[in-house]
Amino acid sequence: MHPFDYYKPKDFDEAFAMLTQPGKKVIPLAGSTDIIPMVRDERWLPDAVVDIKGLPGLRDIKLVDSGPLCCAGQTAQCLYIGAAARMNEIAHSELVQQYASVLAQAAQEVGHEQVRNRATLGGNMGTASPAGDTLSALLVLEADVLVKGKDEERCIPALKFFLGPRKTALQPGEIILGVQVPPLPEGTLGRYLRISRRKGADLAIVGLSVMAIPAEGGYQWRIGLGAVAPTPIRVPEAETILATGHDEATVEKAIQATLAAARPIDDIRATAAYRREMVVQLTRRALQDIIAQIP
């Protein structure tokens, strides 16, 4: 195993000083559930890690007012989830269940109990694996990602955050502070479904986030997919189809549109063919689940 240094900064200033040491590959560390296996297998070779999970505010889950960067222009409060919030904290949080149910469900699917006690939302986003469970949920929630560098903070829409496998819009030296979920109208419904080869502690073969948001007497739909493309994706084609109604024929059309958007590959976990079939099954199941809840 490649040796590396471990830093635990007191505050942000110290953190950024450590993160920006010239000539060194330094990465933030949160729950380390990705870092440890990756470094052990010599796929990541950092010179140093900076443990950011103790920094102020990074573990908060709370409602916040609209800000100058993220959540701008919102009249109601946004849900703020700190980057170092653990999956179990997110899954069990009443706030998250109420304001971002699809994300609570996705967090509950990550790994197993022990992993969820350590794994963080920021780490899931930082790794940016196409199979990361929370990522498609962030896309359908149209969350904002609040990031901070040595000199400034920025807000990046989740829809523009994931650029490729293990590639994000973060600049060197920047960390994720948290995400902000814009307020959603009462009656919003969300469903996260996934399938894996083994039921416990296995990465998703397909992950699927669906939301139905009450709008003008009907519903606006959002569909996000994981593990079937280089990044998590939204499926606007299917969303447009569902905006016209959710009778059986329309649902089938939306499923076909979702399937058309998926570009899965063969790998050791599943063939592309099986992934495509699972896109169909999960989409139908999630849509039916949600439709059954529509009053």
Contacting residues toward ligand FAD, per CB under 6 A: 27-35, 37, 52, 83, 110-111, 115, 118-120, 122-124, 126-127, 132-133, 170, 175-176, 201, 203
Question: Rounded distance, CA 125 to CA 68, Å?
Answer: 23
Pick the closest to residue 191 from 78, 70, 294, 287 (CA basis): 287
Neighbours of 22 (CB within 10 A): 4
- Per-residue binding string, another protein, 112-141, x by CB under 8 A, is x-----------------------------
Work out whether 20 is an interface residue with another protein (CB under 8 A). Answer: no
Least CB distance from residue 53 to ligand FAD, whole Å?
Answer: 7
Among 117-125, 198-206, 229-237, 238-246, which window interacts with another protein (CB under 8 A)?
198-206
One residue of 68, 268, 292, 295 binding another protein per CB under 8 A: 268
Work out whether 73 is an interface residue with another protein (CB under 8 A). Answer: no
Alpha-helical regions (H) of the chain: 12-19, 35-40, 87-92, 94-99, 101-109, 113-116, 121-127, 133-141, 236-243, 248-261, 272-293
Exposed/middle/buried for residue 198 (C-beta within 10 Å: 0-12, 13-18, 19+): exposed
In the complex with another protein, which residue's Cβ is closer, 118 or 285?
285
Q: Which residues bind another protein (CB under 8 A)?
A: 1, 3, 37, 40-41, 112, 195, 197-203, 268-271, 274, 277-278, 281, 285
